Amino acid sequence: MKKVLIYLSMEKYASPFDLIEAYDSDVSDLVVVPYTGVDVDDVPGLINDTIFPRHPKDLVNTAVFIGGHDVVKGDEMMDKAVEQMFDPFKISIVADTDGSNTTATGTVVKIKEAIEKKGESLKGKKAIIFAGTGPVGLRIGALLVKEGAKVAVTSRGIDRAMAAIEKVKKVYHAELTPYEVRSDEATLNALKDFQPNIVVTTGPPKICIVKREIWEQFDCIEVMADVNAYPPYGVEDVDANDNNVEIKGTGKLGVGALRIGTVKNDVQKKIVAKLFEKKGQVIGLEDIYEAAFE
């Protein structure tokens, strides 16, 4: 029996990225069927038509992956889909809109690796995520909290930061500390105030967020990670290719977007495989993070 992955996206096109990663996963006899331009209201009908053709005992071979860029809509689609299933017609489902879950996972996996390389643990460490109130930043925050770190996020507007923090508290039961940062001065002040061991930047491509002249003032910083793949990078002198190497002469380790991306891609394949391991799984951020270590 073929494994059928129903791929739902709110975008005009199914991401070739997601489809290729699915085909590259370790799932034999896989067929990916893309549905695009999907509205939340389309979901119940599509799910009905997905759960009913097969005998419930065979539903381990059917799964849903929600892609596309719109994280809010993706979450609504996920909720709607889960709501539509009932015993024994339950299939496994995951959402990774905007690659947010897998990118957050990739980032925290690399940070953890860096910290452990130094013979230490994330437990009790302090991490600050600059431009961190987007989907990726918040998920990084949630995972770091889960690992025992104390986490701050910065945003250009304090209101946005507060709202984001509320959301993370509600969804992931993780407490974050907000900072409003929209200038180098504010960056400096946030670092002075929070005294982080870990600096993460999750800003847009081609924008440097934390300059070297700023970060090199802080002995407390041990690891810096950046998810921006296009120079100028988010942390000055952390290259997209840096793989937890020392930023020369600083004692600090840096990890760049391409190395995080390698883990992200690997995890994405793993969760596609995971979808077909057991029926009825609702695979969330923490499951994805755990899958990275399997």
Q: Enumerate binding residues for its own copies (CB under 8 A).
A: 1-2, 4, 6, 12-17, 19-21, 23-24, 31, 33-35, 37, 42, 45-46, 49-50, 52-54, 62, 261, 265
SS3 216: coil
**Beta carbon of residue 2, minimum distance to its own copies (angstroms, whole number):** 5
Cα separation of 7 and 94, whole Å?
A: 10
Rg for the chain (alpha carbons), in Å?
20
Q: Please say which residue, 11 or 120, places its beta carbon nearer to its own copies.
A: 11
Residue 45 vs 148, nearer CB to its own copies? 45
Question: Distance of alpha carbon 104 from its chain centroid, rounded?
Answer: 3
195-220 burial, b at 16+ Cβ within 10 Å, e below that, comes to ebbbbbbbbeeeebbbeeebbeebee
What is the DSSP secondary structure assignment for residue 149, as one 8-state letter? -
Shortest distance (Å) from residue 147 CB to its own copies:
27
**How far is residue 26's CA from residue 106's CA, in Å, rounded to a whole number?**
19
Residue closer to its own copies, measured from CB, 63 or 224: 63
Pick 89 or 172: Cβ nearer its own copies: 89
Q: Count CB neighbours of 112 within 10 A.
A: 22
Identify the three-state secondary structure at position 237.
coil
Residue closer to its own copies (CB basis): 34 or 134:
34
CB of 51 to its own copies, least distance (A): 9
| Residue 21 beta carbon to its own copies: minimum distance, rounded to whole angstroms | 5
Q: Is 78 helix (H, G, I), strand (E, B) or coil?
A: helix
- What's the CA gap between 245 and 90, in Å, rounded? 45
Report in angstroms how near the CB of residue 176 gets to its own copies at its nearest.
30
Indicate the residue among 177 and 265 with the shorter CB distance to its own copies: 265
In angstroms, what is the minimal distance from the CB of 38 to its own copies?
Answer: 8
